[in-house]
Amino acid sequence: MILLSPSILSANFATLGEDIKLIEETGVDMLHIDVMDGCFVPNLTFGAPIISSIKKITNLPLDVHLMISEPSRYIDDYIFAGADILTIHVEADKHVDRTIRYIKSKGIKASLAFNPGTPLTPLKYLASSLDMVLIMTVNPGFGGQSLIDYSHDKIKEARLIAEKENKALLIEVDGGIDETNIISIVQSGANVIVAGSSIFKNRNINGNLNKLKEVLKNEGYNNF
């Protein structure tokens, strides 16, 4: 089963509520929200108050990706705001195991992200505690980048670890995914697809989403 998690980083913030409603009506599985602090990544986006507002207008699970330094300091804020899945970066937290356990103790799904150049070694030890792992296929901070080719090998490695340590582990992939490469990403082992620019480009949200779904259906992924 392949899940779609559109990233609102590429949405029109002036009509964000309308864009989210259109995504919801078109049919997706969750909503990906990138929180950036201008420190861990070279960009600023939005924080807990915006997520709280989004929670009020959608029934989609909120897939909240914390691209921030010292995420453990803010876990409660994002849980209170309405996050259903919280992703922290392995590079940003000094005590990753502790933070994951804390997230889980609050009844929230926990996910761990890896930047393109970061080895997956910690995943071997943490997979059993996680609900999801996020493989970044671009360097985080900005939308519209091209997928890094060696990412396929990391996705395959993550799938092998999941098969050994936690078969229920979701493997999410984020960065540069469109109709030309989504199948190769899925075939490498991903089952949660984050897409931003390829969904919101040309303001044809419905058409772009359906194009991604059609490509998946044509390859036998018929869960839509």
Q: Pick the catalytic residue from 19, 37, 131, 174.
A: 174
The SS3 of residue 46 is coil
Q: Does 216 reside within a domain?
A: no
Return the CATH number at 195: 3.20.20.70
pTM for the model stands at 0.96
Q: Does 97 reside within a domain?
A: yes
Amino acid, res. 169: L
Number of domains into which the chain is organized: 1
Q: Does 153 reside within a domain?
A: yes
Q: Does 221 reside within a domain?
A: no
Q: Does 20 reside within a domain?
A: yes
Q: What mean pLDDT is reported for the chain?
A: 95
Average pLDDT over residues 126-141: 95
Q: Does 85 reside within a domain?
A: yes
Q: Which residues have a Cβ under 8 Å from the Cβ of 121 and sit 6 or more positions away?
A: none
**Higher local confidence (pLDDT), 141 or 160:** 160
Examine the pLDDT at 180 and tell me if it is beyond 90: yes
Q: Pick the catalytic residue from 19, 29, 34, 97.
A: 34
Range of the domain at 183: 3-199
Q: Does 206 reside within a domain?
A: no
Q: Check residue 58 and report its DSSP letter.
A: -
DSSP assignment string, 159-209: HHHHHHH-TT-EEEEESS--TTTHHHHHHHT--EEEESHHHHGGG-HHHHH
Annotation says 149 is catalytic = no
Annotation says 34 is catalytic = yes
Which residues on adjacent β-strands are paired with residue 85? Answer: 63, 109
Q: Check residue 211 and report its DSSP letter.
A: H
Q: Does 77 reside within a domain?
A: yes
What percentage of residues in the chain have a pLDDT greater than 70?
Answer: 99
Examine the pLDDT at 223 and tell me if it is beyond 80: no
